[in-house]
Amino acid sequence: HVPYCREMVEGLAEREMTEVTLMIGGVIPRQDFAALADLGIDGIFDSNTRSREILDFLQTRAGGSP
């Protein structure tokens, strides 16, 4: 997932789409969270993340309050 996210971030930058909210979820090792955040991934959710947490993240990013 880190190489795929790097490729995605680079592709977005090439297209000058730097204001896009990026999020990833699934079976993601905690030790990779920092590398993903350094790439510019805004929301990182492992398989134990509750749906409410993801919804709160999306609502906050959209300008609302959870």
pLDDT tens, position by position, 2-59: 999 999 999 999 999 988 999 999 999 999 999 999 999 999 999 999 999 999 999 9
Taking a C-beta distance cutoff of 8 angstroms, is the pair 28, 46 a contact?
A: yes
pTM here is: 0.85
Are 27 and 44 in contact, with CB atoms under 8 Å apart? no
Number of neighbours of residue 44 by Cβ within 10 angstroms: 22
pLDDT confidence of residue 49: 96
For 36, counting Cβ atoms within 10 Å of its Cβ (0-12 exposed, 13-18 middle, 19+ buried), the class is: buried
